[in-house]
Structure 1
């Protein structure tokens, strides 16, 4: 993620914040500018930008910003929408009569906005689903499980359902340990499930890429239910690390794709943060690789250098974590088959195979 600066005091401001921690100026994300803006409040629904490149333009806070503080995105003041581009994607939220649910909703929206920021930076920002038959839109439902009514996180036909209890860190960590996973986060859920959505976009818009997909990931036409049953009964193959990013990726080509897609997004977001932070590692030429940037990773042409930087960065992140007694920040291994899958994704992100809002492909 880029580094943002307050237009008043010029201190760093963070993507999830609603005011500058230093000068207390109100701030919000302006999607059209891909920027965190600093504002002067003329009224509750008229905020004037203080940022140089769009100074004096007027905005209003998203309804969920001003009424629930679960959002921090802005909308042009004359826009007829009351919800921002992120909140328009949310179709169902937990019952807010339950006090803890608003906090769960807040955490879910924070993770969703982080995912959407990267999607926007990659020029694959999804648009709201217009109807049940809309093949290219996206919709979210955040559902709380009830007695006798479990909620399964998943994707189907442009609808992503998330079990809202995953926003409870104790529940999520308990599930992670019970499932034998070494990584489980809300952001990871959003990125994984988006992989299923973007696979459908690619398959619908660019069916000519499906054969190439099958070369790297396998034939997705195999029975998914049987594959899932086999995975939970038998577990992954003993040599799974040779070709897959995770044990769950071994379940079915769809899950291999979604897991690898999520890791591609992890890689791009983290490397972009390192790029804007100016992080550099001078290796020793033997066991410690160099880390340096010649271009921004997002939209970068040299995937081999991107992969080299990712391996160097995660090695050092893991070493730093171990130095203070924490688990590895990135407990995964990139083998050549996994790198080939990441190369496939990068190749077709650049050619916009996952862009969902082309006018030539109406709902």
Structure 2
């Protein structure tokens, strides 16, 4: 499939309205002034300990206190927040997240992200520790975005009925294979997806333009939030069925048809990916994943002073008419904000694709966003905003 963005037009300059500050910041500085990054647990310049405070959405430079506690560097000795480092800091997961005083008082030793992992891969297996580390890195990225969007993120211990859990599994040598998927709040991931060569072979065999650990996690959590936010909602269920299709369609039959016959020839005109065309549930999950792709990438770009409004490339922009078929798009108070988000994404990825090609790499974002796909992204955006407000 061809590189997948509308043809550029340079007749008019892009609007100069700036997007809001990042929802989830990605650029940080140590107390010594040097830049540090989301996954860092120590500043490479001054060797100071670092920890990510998930509810504050920031990476903190730390100073030790008695009893294994920590405070933010430079904060007053009295009255400042006290933290504890995640017990997985020194495990293969190498978690740099912090627990706040309330979590510690409740007897927790694992951070909000690590508590979501219900099953770790069999660490006696070769490479399992490396794979677990890669999966947890991707999961921390996912969970930080979910928290930044103010979506509900509760573990099974906190909410046995509706909480979220991750089972990271390895198939036994004699089989059967592990099937990555979601069932009633439990996300099952084949841990061998963390093996780059194995994952690339599967991507090639399935003719996919994109396959990553983070993409898997974003997709599967889309199924979870469908069940949590859409299925029981009088506000969103019917609009989603109108736009994505009737989720009561036989799922097994739809998957079998997809793998036997492939996607419809015109899938690119209606869906964000070929796989999205196989069933309304997968359409929702793929669209949800793409929404998280664009939100987090734009957050990262804006964190470092970049955004799609400032690049020297102007695309034919989506206007309000693209939202009309979303039902009541005209009544959405954030319609203009969403259009700015999606247009900035188109312009930024146009440049990022060219940068990837300059390195001889595959396109950074190898997808086209058709008008129907944008309408679906808009509905996901509205569901997310509604959950955050509620």
Q: 1:222 to 1:204 in 2, by over 3 A?
A: closer
Higher relative contact order, chain-length normalized (CA < 8 Å, sep 6+): 2
Partner Cα distance (2:276, 2:213) in 1:
18
TM-score normalised over the length of structure 1? 0.88
Q: Partner of 1:30 in structure 2?
A: 53
How high is the TM-score relative to the length of structure 2? 0.83
Shift in CA distance, 131/122, structure 1 to aligned 2, threshold 3 Å: closer
Aligned CA RMSD, in angstroms, stands at: 2.3
Shift of 1:205: 4.1
The yes-or-no answer on 1:76 pairing with 2:111 is no
Q: SS at 2:60's partner residue?
A: strand
Q: 2:360 aligns with which of 307, 325, 336?
A: 325
Q: Which runs of 5+ in 1 are unaligned?
A: 290-298, 359-363
Deviation at 1:6, TM superposition (A): 3.4
Separation in structure 2 between the aligned mates of residue 260 and residue 204 of structure 1, nearest angstrom: 16
Residue in 2 that maps onto 1:294? none
Which residue of 2 is the match for residue 63 of structure 1? 87
Please list the CA deviations of residues 50-88 of structure 1 after superposition, one character each: whole Å capped at 9, or x if unmatched: 165998432211111144452111113543201110011
In the TM superposition, what whole-angstrom CA distance separates every residue of 1:272-320 from its partner, at most 9, and x where no partner exists? 11222222535466x688xxxxxxxxx9961111111010011111011
Residue 41 of structure 1 deviates from its aligned partner by 2.8
Q: Paired residue for 2:225?
A: 198
When structure 1 is superposed on structure 2, of 344-353 and 68-77 the one drifting more is: 68-77
Contact 1:6/1:20, CA 8 A, preserved across alignment = no
Q: Is the 8 A contact 2:53 2:59 kept in 1?
A: yes
Relative to 1, partners in 2 of residues 1:267 and 1:129: Cα closer, same or farther, differing over 3 Å? same
Of residues 37-46 and 324-333 in structure 1, the stretch that sits farther from structure 2 once superposed is 37-46
CA gap of 1:51–1:225, structure 2 versus 1, over 3 A, is: farther
Partner of 1:168: 195
Q: Are 2:92 and 2:130, in contact at CA under 8 Å, matched by a contact in 1?
A: no
In structure 2, do the counterparts of structure 1 residues 177 and 115 end up closer, same or farther at CA, with 3 Å as the change threshold? same
Distance 1:53 1:340, change over 3 A: farther
2:339 corresponds to 1:304: yes
Contact 1:3 1:12 in 2 (8 A): no
Aligned residue pairs total 344
Between 198-207 and 40-49, report the one with greater CA deviation: 40-49
Q: Which moved more, 1:144-153 or 1:181-190?
A: 144-153
Q: Alpha-carbon deviations, 1:128-181, whole Å to 9, x = none?
A: 0249960x2101100001122210000010010000000111111111111111
1:8 aligned partner: 31
